[in-house]
Chains A and B, each alone.
Chain A
Amino acid sequence: MSSISDQINSSDAKESAKIVTPRSFNWNDFGLQVFLIVVGLIIALPIIIAIFTSFKSIPEFNANPNALLPRDWTFENYRRAWNSTPFGRYLINSVIQSGIIVACQVLFSILAAFAFSFLTFRGRDAMFYLILGSLMVPFQLTFIPSFLIISNLPANCMEVFGETAAFCDQLGANSYFGLTVPFLASAFGVFLLRQFFLSLPKDLHDSAKIDGASNFRFLWQIVVPLSRGAVSALTIFSFLNAWSQYLWPLIITNEQSMRTIQIGIRFFLFDQERGVEWGPLMAGAVIVMLPTLVLFLVAQRQLVQGIAMTGIK
């Protein structure tokens, strides 16, 4: 698994294998450099345009919308975006929503993957296929019933615990529980970590048992520390997915105060009645993509590794 990502992230190995005559100018290399830079800039262009537009003043944008670089850089659009819609609240909601999803997906995947790779018990393989099979069930088949389950949950809860049970309101639509609970388990995560755990030597478990360590202690003190790479790849991958979620937060929240940032930017666009103000809108878009852009810049390696692993079976 890691070998492929290593290959992706560095061509050093191949470089050193190749005998390079020093100081010779290679026209092929030069052409490829130019080609890749041009293509790369074209691909990055929508993001670059959004960033530049977000720093242009509104009069400047109106006078000359197609100039790429702002003449006078200003934070005005960010101030306007921040003040005209509760981006701060959306950000907090998204952080809480993604935080809950990532924490539970990683934790539950570790637990299940451990059982599938180190324990033997009746029905284990059947359960593995049951969990793996859920990868084939498209969200489009389950989201209407899931929506009904979550929407009816407060009423169902009150039937059981009585009308006065205040916590029942925290379970339905417009709640963090409702936003996150369908995604707390990840079949992909279980599969990924199981593959990694299976590659660890079995002797580890035996010697831990001889030392009298419980399975639970063995998992947290030996297995998880040894699997830091796989766990962090899963964490980043699952954060990216959780942060970018769109359809579910769109249908399960209708109160502004519970919207995630992805839904917030949608309504920021659609609520602008007197024509779209592009500067503030792009400032909003930059706010939405900033966390994942930063994550990409600091953890490109793990991110690429996590994605490359989806292609390996």
Chain B
Amino acid sequence: MTTTGQVTNRKPILQSVWETVEGYLYLAPSLIILGVFVYYPIVRSFNLSLTRVAPFGNATRYVGFENYQRLLTELVEGGDYAIYLKNSLLFMLGTVPTGIIIAVGLAVALSYPLKRLSWFHRLLIFLPIVISSAVTGVLFRLLYNPAVGYINHWLSFIGIQEGPNWLSSKDWALIAVIIAVVWRQLGFNVIIALAGVQNIDTTYYEAAKVDGANLWSRIRHITIPLLSPTLFFLAIINVINSLTTFGEINILTDGGPGQATTTMVYAIFVDAFIGTPLRGFASAQAYLLALLIVIMSVIQFSGIGRRVHYT
């Protein structure tokens, strides 16, 4: 009698212990991977950013915030880091608004219920989503080539006989990378924008039509305000993507000519892996870049996007 009483008393405890163990067994693979390759590196990266490799040796030594100081000095005095920041911001300004405007325009056009071929339009317009950044770089190397490339060839049709030297001109290289990246991300942006456009209740348009609103005022007064959460999401995602774009820069320009296309993320790669690795200095740069990105993510996660409406 007493033993059965003990068993029934103990069973819920054992059971709740087992339930906890079982729960963590299901989580274990994800937690271990994310712990080792996301959470631990956050700490390790910060420690690294406080070190420097001693000259004439492999020993790293602790230097406090020296790497950060150096970056701030460069920033203030218009040194390398100021150039990288400027390139990143120009790249952002070149890719984000252009990409979103084109995507929304195409989404509005695609949302119109055509009787025929609408699958075909989607197919062609979505196509770039399956193209990797490496392939994008290679394709645009051909398009931009001054001797055999197509872009300057076509420019000659509209009267521009001497097209720019896209990839080797300091004035055009960043624009060349921007065009390639806008192209690669177009499919993604259109899909998101289209999902947003098609979520808008069609009765608004019908009412506006009855009131005699033309196409532009319907876009201006119905589509854009009701699309603002989607636009906000696209803006944040595209800003983060623009801050982290790497593949196209690596293949098209390798950060050049000079430093014309070295963005913040590209500088991290160069400092950490090209020539003498300056991993401490690169880690300090990574921390500053991550700070920018985390601010963007926090804004997005905090749900401000859901409250944006009726601008």
**Which A residues form the contact surface with B (CB < 8 A)?**
4-5, 7-9, 11, 14-15, 18, 20, 29, 32-33, 35-37, 39-41, 43-44, 46-47, 49-50, 53, 61, 65-66, 104, 107-109, 111-112, 114-115, 119-124, 127, 130-131, 134-149, 181-187, 190, 215, 240, 243-244, 246-247, 250-251, 262-263, 265-266, 269, 276, 278, 281-282, 284-285, 288-289, 292-293, 295-297, 300, 303-304, 307-308, 310-313
Contacts and interface: CB of A to CB of B under 8 A. Distances in A.
B128 interface: yes
Contact of B20 (A50, A114, A121, A145): A121
Contacts of B138: 265-266, 269, 281-282, 284-285
Contact of B27 (A18, A29, A111, A149): A111
- Please report whether the interface of chain A is mostly helix, strand, loop or mixed according to DSSP: helix
A140 B42 contact: no
B109 A32 contact: yes
A144 B148 contact: no
B86 interface: no
26 contacts: A4-B198, A8-B194, A11-B113, A15-B115, A37-B120, A40-B124, A120-B19, A121-B19, A130-B39, A137-B294, A138-B290, A140-B244, A141-B45, A144-B279, A144-B282, A146-B41, A149-B37, A181-B33, A266-B134, A276-B141, A296-B126, A300-B122, A304-B191, A307-B191, A313-B303, A313-B305
Contacts of A145: 40-41, 44-45, 48
Most buried by A among B36, B37, B305: B37
A243 B27 CA distance: 26
Contacts of A139: 244
Interface string B125-144: 11111111111111111110
Interface stretch (B158-166, B216-224, B268-276): B268-276
Contact of A43 (B45, B183, B269, B273): B183
Nearest to A104: B29
Most buried by B among A136, A141, A187, A295: A141
A185 B33 contact: yes
Contacts of A136: 293-294, 297-298, 301
Contacts of A50: 139, 142
